[in-house]
């Protein structure tokens, strides 16, 4: 016997007649005896000392039947009793008056009643009859069917009837009489049909009970194996009670239908179910099986280690005892989990720990190698309501190995190695079960912790309990960012810390990495030590990142980048400097100083990505430049270069000026070195000097005066020329190109740049720059005199307005040729005058500047300039600057295309003038034709405004020539428009 599910108590002793059948009616027992009498027993007292009732004879109905009462059924819903004796009779309850007898049932040996529809089915010899209760005293025959043999047992299953015929079972359709075979019933035991409360059937085959549905198909619930072939079976959930030849057997209805209890009673003839007990009928006595309270059964089952059965009984506890049920289930789950854990069923144990809702610290106490963070929450050991729990828990805890890593020695025998392998496998399985358990618990823990954090943030924002909250929480910046007062987050920290360790101990670093990359509450100190000890650098990096320890993370990342460059490094994942840049991107808005500090480590290896980091992160360029100037001066210019190349508008004028000064400093150092070794050549160009020249030409944000002061007086003339050009000192700049650098091409390029920068539709005098170059070629002595003095005067007078470039004044020439030349360029250009600084003189005036030097005129350069830029030079002014001895033949390349262009313009203007005159004539002709329009007025002509006849009144015609109106109406309509416009204007005002 596993446990006592029922207590057996004798209810009736020494019945005078042999008991043939038994049935219960309320609290009363109905005994059908062999002498045809019906004896009714009722409880004598409310209860005895053992909790059961003793029964006494209340009434004896003699002559209830002429023959022994073989079977009885109480139909409480219709308040009558069905009895089977020589026939089937119906008796009214509680008077037991006979209300009907089915004479056709004479000789019947078995019957069954359908409570739902009120149908009676009985078997007589090889015939099966179906009757229907009409609601009163009568019964109406429905069908009668013939079967192959005598029916031994029957039962309703829905609208069908299952019949046990000698050695087989068949399903009879009560509507059409169709028979379908189920299976054979065996040879040793008679067929047994038991109707289940669900409408299904339990059919006996020897000592096996088989579950089938209403159509006879086998159900997947399995089979009940009895000790012997049962004579009768009664279902009283959660048990099935079978009457065997030598005893009564009680089995659980939960697969695999284990044996629960055996009640040894001899000569038990019948078995029936009462309201709260089972009634056993012997020859001359009655015994009752009273169920033991569920709580006591649960205690027995748990004490005997039958946890599954105990849990199934917990589900049968009444709803009003829900708290008791939850406590018992939790206690049993814990006991069962420890039992399974001790026996190596780790995953099953974790399932029961999960179902018990036990605190995770209780489960983690079974794993001594898992290090847990210190918490402020005190976890009490669960108070189990079953004796012996404490001993179970202590034994379970002591049975676990204190170390998950098996001890290894240098010399191990073969048996020791096998034991070590088994221990390692066991430890691995233990940890894998723990991982699954923690992962299932994790979602609710993380959800609660996140909700708690959100609530604190909201309270902080609205100012509720702000002071107390600030006392309890810790700063999130730095180590140990977990608020001490957070219960849910502390539990989440315990769970995540344990889960991370279990993943690492089972060789799942990739899963551990995914855990750290998501929302987690891993304890920083413990996890940091573990990850550092096992060299899990990537996971440690994610741990730092999640806890906002960006400095530690960046230092580790920089170390990993350096190790990745080494071929002897043992790290599995290679890192690049770009990884540091990617890490720094989110920090630009929160910690720009940290970004600048660690960006210096990768600026040389990936400058473009680093500059893009500064730009995308919106870090102030002045801050970046000053930081570079202090910590990495060599990279400042490169940063400014890349930044200017990527986004010129992002570089302020101060930074542009800074960059040019850096270039100039490098060039001056380079120049000083070459001068010291006497290897300086003005035509030498270092890479930095090329950058300087390019920056001076393309950048406009620097200060040319400050740069000009730093240039040496006898070198770097090209830089000086560009700076003078920025200051609009074109004459000095061109003089340097021509006389110092001897580079006419550079001078011409300079003029082209100035011309193109000034060449707009409104700029009519942009060609003056070429005239300045002509003057330099024609007056070399004047342009070379006093370079330094003039530059010094310019720099000393900073507030003085720099003269602008204008045209040379045209002198009215009395000659006919000069008038033609002036006419070529247009009368408007002849009225322009040059400024004193850029004005040229005629060849006769050049002698004033001939003292102190040669007055050789560079006529070939002049002619080359005129021939190459004839379309950009004012012809009249250029001719006035030329010496008188200049030959006309030398000017063919200049005057030829110029006159050709002028002639083309003259012809084009003449054609345009003629076309316009012709167009004017055409318009006048059309005007005259339109004025000749004729309007015919008849007596039916109507005014389009007032819709009255025109008659002889003055009228007006609209431009379309067909719309006629009275002149008065037309005038009034015009006045109305004017008034309407005025009113709208007044409304606006």
What percent of the chain is modeled with pLDDT above 90? 17
Q: What's the rounded Cα separation, in Å, for the pair 333 and 354? A: 9
Give one DSSP letter per residue of 197-220, joined into a string.
TTS-EEEEETTEEEEE-TTSPEEE
Of 23-32, 216-225, 769-778, minimum mean pLDDT range: 769-778
Three-class DSSP category at 327: helix
Helix or strand (DSSP H, E) at 774: helix 768-778
- The predicted structure's pLDDT at residue 967: 92
| Domain limits, the chain | 314-375+429-448, 553-651, 728-758+766-794+857-886, 888-933
85-94 pLDDT, tens digit per residue, is: 989 999 988 8
The token pair that represents 416 in the structure block: 């020791």
Helix or strand (DSSP H, E) at 122: strand 119-124
The token pair that represents 79 in the structure block: 């308040």
pLDDT tops 70 at residue 597: yes
Q: What's the rounded Cα separation, in Å, for the pair 113 and 121? A: 6
* Average pLDDT of the residues of the chain: 78
pLDDT tops 70 at residue 459: no
Phi, psi for 879 (deg, rounded to 5) = -65, -35
pLDDT tops 70 at residue 852: no
Of the candidates 617, 575, 579, the residue with the CA atom closest to the CA atom of residue 595: 617
- 651 CB-near residues (< 8 Å, 6+ apart): 621, 640, 643, 644, 659, 701
- The predicted structure's pLDDT at residue 433: 92
Give the start-end residues of each E strand in 756-835.
none
Cβ distance 382 to 358 under 8 Å? yes
Q: Please name the residue that has the structure tokens 């420890």.
A: 338
Q: What's the rounded Cα separation, in Å, for the pair 918 and 446? A: 91
How long a stretch of residues is the chain?
989
- The predicted structure's pLDDT at residue 537: 87
What burial class does residue 105 get, using C-beta atoms within 10 Å of its C-beta: 0-12 exposed, 13-18 middle, 19+ buried? buried
Residue 917 confidence class, pLDDT cut points 50, 70, 90: very high
Q: Considering just the CA atoms, what is the radius of gyration of the chain in Å?
A: 58
Q: What's the rounded Cα separation, in Å, for the pair 679 and 667? A: 15
Average pLDDT (876-898) is 78
Q: What's the rounded Cα separation, in Å, for the pair 333 and 327? A: 10
Cβ distance 390 to 334 under 8 Å? no
pLDDT tops 50 at residue 889: yes
Query: How many CB atoms sit inside 10 A of residue 622's CB?
Result: 12
Dihedral, CA of residue 218, residue 224, residue 229 and residue 232, to nearest 10: -90
Q: Please name the residue that has the structure tokens 């004598």.
A: 44
- The predicted structure's pLDDT at residue 89: 92
- For the chain, helix (H) and strand (E) counts, in that order, are 32, 30
- The predicted structure's pLDDT at residue 389: 42
Cβ distance 442 to 499 under 8 Å? yes
Most confidently modeled range among 130-134, 312-316, 881-885:
130-134
137-159 pLDDT, tens digit per residue, is: 778 888 899 988 889 999 998 88
Of 64-73, 351-360, 699-708, minimum mean pLDDT range: 699-708
pLDDT tops 90 at residue 895: no
Cβ distance 251 to 224 under 8 Å? yes
Query: How many CB atoms sit inside 10 A of residue 390's CB?
Result: 11
- The predicted structure's pLDDT at residue 302: 82
Axis-axis angle for helices 892-931, 816-825 (nearest 10): 60
932-949 pLDDT, tens digit per residue, is: 778 888 888 999 999 999
Q: What's the rounded Cα separation, in Å, for the pair 163 and 128? A: 9
What burial class does residue 539 get, using C-beta atoms within 10 Å of its C-beta: 0-12 exposed, 13-18 middle, 19+ buried? buried
pLDDT tops 70 at residue 386: no
Is the pLDDT higher at 322 or at 494? 494
Residue 875 confidence class, pLDDT cut points 50, 70, 90: confident
User: How far separated are the first and last CA of the chain, in Å rounded?
Assistant: 109
- 418 CB-near residues (< 8 Å, 6+ apart): none
Buried b (16+ CB within 10 A) or exposed e, 73-99: bbbeebebbbbbbbbbbbbebeebeee
Is the pLDDT higher at 708 or at 973? 973
- The predicted structure's pLDDT at residue 910: 92
Buried b (16+ CB within 10 A) or exposed e, 957-986: eeeeeeebbbeebbeeeeeeeeeeeeeeee
The token pair that represents 178 in the structure block: 């169709």
Cα distances (Å, whole numbers) of residue 970 to 935, 961, 967, 980: 17, 15, 5, 15
CA atoms 159, 164, 170, 176: torsion sign: negative
Buried b (16+ CB within 10 A) or exposed e, 488-512: bbbbbbbbbbbbbbbbbbbebbebb
Give one DSSP letter per residue of 109-161, joined into a string.
-EEEEETTTTEEEEEETTEEEEEEE-SSS-EEEEEEEE-SS-EEEEEEETTEE
Q: What's the rounded Cα separation, in Å, for the pair 756 and 744? A: 18
Residue 418 confidence class, pLDDT cut points 50, 70, 90: low
Average pLDDT (840-860) is 46
Average pLDDT (1-12) is 81
Q: What's the rounded Cα separation, in Å, for the pair 25 and 22? A: 10
Cβ distance 686 to 667 under 8 Å? yes
- The predicted structure's pLDDT at residue 425: 64
- The predicted structure's pLDDT at residue 566: 74
Is the pLDDT higher at 634 or at 581? 581
CA angle in degrees (0–180, nearest 5) for 927-932-935: 130
Q: Please name the residue that has the structure tokens 């009214």.
A: 92
pLDDT tops 80 at residue 201: yes
Bridge partners, 101 (sequence order): 89
Is the pLDDT higher at 111 or at 988? 111
Q: What's the rounded Cα separation, in Å, for the pair 836 and 261? A: 131
- The predicted structure's pLDDT at residue 84: 92
Helix or strand (DSSP H, E) at 865: helix 859-868
Query: How many CB atoms sit inside 10 A of residue 238's CB?
Result: 19
- The predicted structure's pLDDT at residue 756: 80
Residue 736 confidence class, pLDDT cut points 50, 70, 90: confident
Average pLDDT (77-81) is 88
What burial class does residue 591 get, using C-beta atoms within 10 Å of its C-beta: 0-12 exposed, 13-18 middle, 19+ buried? middle
DSSP 8-state secondary structure symbol assigned to residue 811: P
806-830 pLDDT, tens digit per residue, is: 333 333 333 334 333 333 343 333 3
- The predicted structure's pLDDT at residue 461: 59
Q: What's the rounded Cα separation, in Å, for the pair 91 and 85? A: 13
Cα distances (Å, whole numbers) of residue 14 to 17, 281, 282, 506, 592: 8, 12, 10, 72, 102
The token pair that represents 155 in the structure block: 């039962």
Cβ distance 240 to 197 under 8 Å? no
pLDDT tops 80 at residue 890: no
Q: What's the rounded Cα separation, in Å, for the pair 738 and 745? A: 9
- The predicted structure's pLDDT at residue 472: 43
Of the candidates 367, 360, 365, 358, the residue with the CA atom closest to the CA atom of residue 331: 358
- The predicted structure's pLDDT at residue 324: 76
CA angle in degrees (0–180, nearest 5) for 409-414-419: 75
Q: What's the rounded Cα separation, in Å, for the pair 935 and 960? A: 11
pLDDT tops 70 at residue 981: no
Distance of CA 897 to the CA centre of its chain: 73
Q: Please name the residue that has the structure tokens 């070379």.
A: 784
351-360 pLDDT, tens digit per residue, is: 989 888 888 9
Is the pLDDT higher at 650 or at 341? 341
The token pair that represents 764 in the structure block: 């009519």
pLDDT tops 50 at residue 471: no
Is the pLDDT higher at 488 or at 481? 488
Cβ distance 149 to 166 under 8 Å? yes
Phi, psi for 851 (deg, rounded to 5) = -75, 140
Cβ distance 659 to 695 under 8 Å? yes
- The predicted structure's pLDDT at residue 823: 38
């Amino acid at each position: 016997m596993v446990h006592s599910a029922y207590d057996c108590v004798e209810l009736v002793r020494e019945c005078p007649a042999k008991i043939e059948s038994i049935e219960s009616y309320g609290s009363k027992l109905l005994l059908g005896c062999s002498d045809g009498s019906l004896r009714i027993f009722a409880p004598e007292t409310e209860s005895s000392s053992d909790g059961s009732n003793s029964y006494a004879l209340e009434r004896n109905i003699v002559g209830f039947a002429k023959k022994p009462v073989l079977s009885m059924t109480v139909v409480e819903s219709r308040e009558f009793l069905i009895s089977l004796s020589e026939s089937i009779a119906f008796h009214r309850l509680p008077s037991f008056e006979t209300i009907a007898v089915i004479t056709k049932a004479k000789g019947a040996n078995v019957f069954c009643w359908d409570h739902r529809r009120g149908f009676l089915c009985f078997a007589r010899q090889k015939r099966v009859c179906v009757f229907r209760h009409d609601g009163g005293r009568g019964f109406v025959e429905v069908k009668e069917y013939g079967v192959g043999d005598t029916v031994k047992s029957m039962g309703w299953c829905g609208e069908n009837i299952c019949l046990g015929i000698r050695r087989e079972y068949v399903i009879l359709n009560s509507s059409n009489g169709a028979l379908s075979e189920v299976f054979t019933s065996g040879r040793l035991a008679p067929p047994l049909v038991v109707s289940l409360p669900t409408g299904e059937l339990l059919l006996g085959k020897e000592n096996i009970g088989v579950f089938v549905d209403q159509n006879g198909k086998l159900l997947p619930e399995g089979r009940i194996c009895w000790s012997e072939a049962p004579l009768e079976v009664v279902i009283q959930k959660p048990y099935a009670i079978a009457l065997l030849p030598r005893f009564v057997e009680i089995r659980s209805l939960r697969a695999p239908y284990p044996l629960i209890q055996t009640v040894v009673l001899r000569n038990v003839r019948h078995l029936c179910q009462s309201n709260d007990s089972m009634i056993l009928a012997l020859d001359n006595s009655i015994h009752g099986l009273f169920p033991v309270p569920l709580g006591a059964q649960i205690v027995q089952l748990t004490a005997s280690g039958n946890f599954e059965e105990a849990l199934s009984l917990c589900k049968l506890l009444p709803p009003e005892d829900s708290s008791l049920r939850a406590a018992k289930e939790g206690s049993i789950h814990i006991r069962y989990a420890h039992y399974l854990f001790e026996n190596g069923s780790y995953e099953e144990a974790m399932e029961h720990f999960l179902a018990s809702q036990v605190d995770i610290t209780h489960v983690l106490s079974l794993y001594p190698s898992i290090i847990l963070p210190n918490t402020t929450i005190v976890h009490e050991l669960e108070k189990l309501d079953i004796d012996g729990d404490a001993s179970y828990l202590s034994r379970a805890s002591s049975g676990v190995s204190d170390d998950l890593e098996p001890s290894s020695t240098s010399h191990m025998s073969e048996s020791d190695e096998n034991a070590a392998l088994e221990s390692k496998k066991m430890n691995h399985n233990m940890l894998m079960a723990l991982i699954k358990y923690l992962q299932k618990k994790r979602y609710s823990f993380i959800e609660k912790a996140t909700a708690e954090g959100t609530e604190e943030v909201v309270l902080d924002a609205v100012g509720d309990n702000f002071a107390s909250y600030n006392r309890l929480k810790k700063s999130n910046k730095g180590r140990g960012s977990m608020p001490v007062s957070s219960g849910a987050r502390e539990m989440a920290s315990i769970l995540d810390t344990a889960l991370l360790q279990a993943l690492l101990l089972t060789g799942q670093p990739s899963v551990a990495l995914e855990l750290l990359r998501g929302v987690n509450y891993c304890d920083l100190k413990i996890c940091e030590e573990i990850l550092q000890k096992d060299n899990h650098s990537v996971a440690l990096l994610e741990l730092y990142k999640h806890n906002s320890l960006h400095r530690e993370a960046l230092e580790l990342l920089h170390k990993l980048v350096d190790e990745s460059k080494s071929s002897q490094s043992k790290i599995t994942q290679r890192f690049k400097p770009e990884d540091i840049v990617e890490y720094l991107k989110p920090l630009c808005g929160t910690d720009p100083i940290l970004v600048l500090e660690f960006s210096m480590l990768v600026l040389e290896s990936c400058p473009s990505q680093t500059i893009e980091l500064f730009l995308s992160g919106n870090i102030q360029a002045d801050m970046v430049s000053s930081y570079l100037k202090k910590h990495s001066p060599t990279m400042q210019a490169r940063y400014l270069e890349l930044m200017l190349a990527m986004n010129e508008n992002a570089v302020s004028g101060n930074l542009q000026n800074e960059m040019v000064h850096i270039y100039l400093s490098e060039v001056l150092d380079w120049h000083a070195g070459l001068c010291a070794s006497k290897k300086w050549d003005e035509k030498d160009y270092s890479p930095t000097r090329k950058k300087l020249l390019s920056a001076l030409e393309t950048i406009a944000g620097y200060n040319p005066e400050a740069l000009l002061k730093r240039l040496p007086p006898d070198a770097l003339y090209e830089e000086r020329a560009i700076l003078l050009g920025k200051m609009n000192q074109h004459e000095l700049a061109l003089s340097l190109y021509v006389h110092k650098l001897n580079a006419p091409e550079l001078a011409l390029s300079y003029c082209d740049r100035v011309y193109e920068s000034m060449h707009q539709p409104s700029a009519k005098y942009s060609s003056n720059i070429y005239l300045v170059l002509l003057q330099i070629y024609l007056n070399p002595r004047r342009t070379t005199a006093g370079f330094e003095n003039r530059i010094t005067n310019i720099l000393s007078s900073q507030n003085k307005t720099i003269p602008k470039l204008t045209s040379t004044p045209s002198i009215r020439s009395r000659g006919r040729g000069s008038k033609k030349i002036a006419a070529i360029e247009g009368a408007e250009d002849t009225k322009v005058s040059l400024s004193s600084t850029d004005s040229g003189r005629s060849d006769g005036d050049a002698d004033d500047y001939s003292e102190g030097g040669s007055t050789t005129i560079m006529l070939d350069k002049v002619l080359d300039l005129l021939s190459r830029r004839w379309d950009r030079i004012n012809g009249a002014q250029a001719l006035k600057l030329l010496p008188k001895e200049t030959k006309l033949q030398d000017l063919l390349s200049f005057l030829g295309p110029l006159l050709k262009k002028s002639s083309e313009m003259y012809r084009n203007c003449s054609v345009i003038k003629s076309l316009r005159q012709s167009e004017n004539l055409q318009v006048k002709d059309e005007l005259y034709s339109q004025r000749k329009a004729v309007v015919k007025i008849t007596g039916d002509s109507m005014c389009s405004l007032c819709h009255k006849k025109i008659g002889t009144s003055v009228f007006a015609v609209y431009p379309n020539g067909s719309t006629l109106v009275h002149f008065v109406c037309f005038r009034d309509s015009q006045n109305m428009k004017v008034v309407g416009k005025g009113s709208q204007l007044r409304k606006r005002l």
